[in-house]
Amino acid sequence: MATRAHNFFAGPAILPVPVIEAARDAAYNFADLGMSIMEISHRSKEFDQVMVEAQQDALKIMGLSADEYAVLYLGGGASTQFAMLPLNFLHTKADYVNTGEWATKAIKEAKMLGETNVVATSEDANFNYIPKDITWTPGSDYAHITTNNTIYGTQWNTMPDTGDIPLVADMSSDMLSRPLDFSKFNLIYAGAQKNLGPSGVTLIIVKKAWVEEKAKKENLTMFKYATHIKKDSMFNTPPSFPVYVVGQTLKWIMNEGGLEVIEERNIRKAKLIYDIIDAYPEYYKGAVANKEDRSLMNITWNLPTEELEAKFVADAKAKGLYGLKGHRSVGGIRASTYNACPVESVEALAAFMEEFKKNNA
């Protein structure tokens, strides 16, 4: 196999090598059928096993019961969930915390469907912190947060207490990166292409009783969670190949030792970069105001000038370090160190940062 590049793209993003190898093989000859997994019926027993295992493994990793929670694999990305969530559950009012671009987009969709309260925001400081001491609106249908903010490099490192209000989270860019009490959430959704698999599928974990008791009964068929729960994500043809790859990623997480091992590794990787940012704060200017709000998945910083930032990205690419240019809306530098990013890649980036400063200070 050719040498793997050091991949820091924010999404679509790096996948574990064993997952890529399994996907390569399944793309040609799946389950010794003489056909690609992309060529077989989603109603076949072979693909049914893929779907069932991907559902069971997600719940196993998260410590959730199949009696209480449904696992859905749907198309449309997290952006579709911005609308699907309020279409199902926004009856009178909902609370949202705005911590960045994706939260802003979720709020925009919800506002078109009902009363939407932005109960906290970090927009005043270009989303460089996570709001604290939030006052939730009594009687809200749900409270929505975005657990990791891919563009700005902030992360909820302590989940909020919303009391009796059902908690919902967009976990697209830090899903299954650390142990959490996932039972605190009524619904979690995550576009796969950042930390779970390829683009084209979205993972949704939803409390069945919430759907049964609170979801709107009269709704567009394809936008009803109940539709997909009843048919086990098979109401229509699912994104079969992406589901397979996510399923392989879940098995990789379990084979690695579970979320405790994954988190320990993610902390170690992030520390390598944050230590350099902290050592040279006038040169590598961290974009996140408070250390407790720093993301383990997306590390963001600036250099003294845009010219130096452009040179940093170009020189890094020449050394096989890809995907370090910050999001177009904020500029700067961003290193996405998702679960599948090897420690060795982050060590290579840390060494490059030291060398770059020495040569360009």
pLDDT in tens, 87-129: 999 999 999 999 999 999 999 999 999 999 999 999 999 999 9
pLDDT of residue 361: 87
Beta bridge partners of 146: 170
Residues in the chain: 361
Report the alpha-carbon distance of residue 303 to residue 224 in Å, rounded: 47
User: What b/e string do you get for 28-53 counting C-beta neighbours within 10 Å, with b at 16 or more?
Assistant: eebeeeeeebeebebebeebeebbeb
pLDDT for 2 beyond 80: no
Instruction: Output the pTM of the full model.
Output: 0.98
pLDDT for 1 beyond 60: no
Q: What is the DSSP letter of 93?
A: E
pLDDT of residue 3: 86
Does the domain formed by 258-360 have CATH 3.90.1150.10?
Answer: yes
pLDDT in tens, 63-84: 999 999 999 999 999 999 999 9
Assigned architecture for domain 17-256 = 3-Layer(aba) Sandwich (3.40)
Neighbouring C-beta atoms of residue 155, cutoff 10 Å: 25
pLDDT in tens, 260-290: 999 999 999 999 999 999 999 999 999 999 9
pLDDT of residue 138: 98
Residue carrying structure tokens 């599928």: 201
Active site positions, annotated = 102, 170, 194
Domain(s) labelled CATH 3.40.640.10 in the chain stretch across: 17-256
Write out the two tokens for 106.
Answer: 């979720």
Beta bridge partners of 118: 96
Q: Which amino acid, 348?
A: A
Average pLDDT, the chain: 98
Give one DSSP letter per residue of 54-86, joined into a string. HHHHHHHHHT--TTTEEEEEESSHHHHHHHHHH
Domain(s) labelled CATH 3.90.1150.10 in the chain stretch across: 258-360
pLDDT of residue 30: 98
User: What b/e string do you get for 228-246 counting C-beta neighbours within 10 Å, with b at 16 or more?
Assistant: bbeebbebeebbbbbbbbb
pLDDT for 157 beyond 80: yes
pLDDT for 215 beyond 80: yes
pLDDT band at 35 (very low <50, low <70, confident <90, very high): very high
Q: Where are the alpha helices (DSSP H) in the chain?
A: 17-28, 45-62, 77-89, 101-111, 208-214, 225-230, 240-256, 259-279, 306-318, 343-360
pLDDT in tens, 224-267: 999 999 999 999 999 999 999 999 999 999 999 999 999 999 99
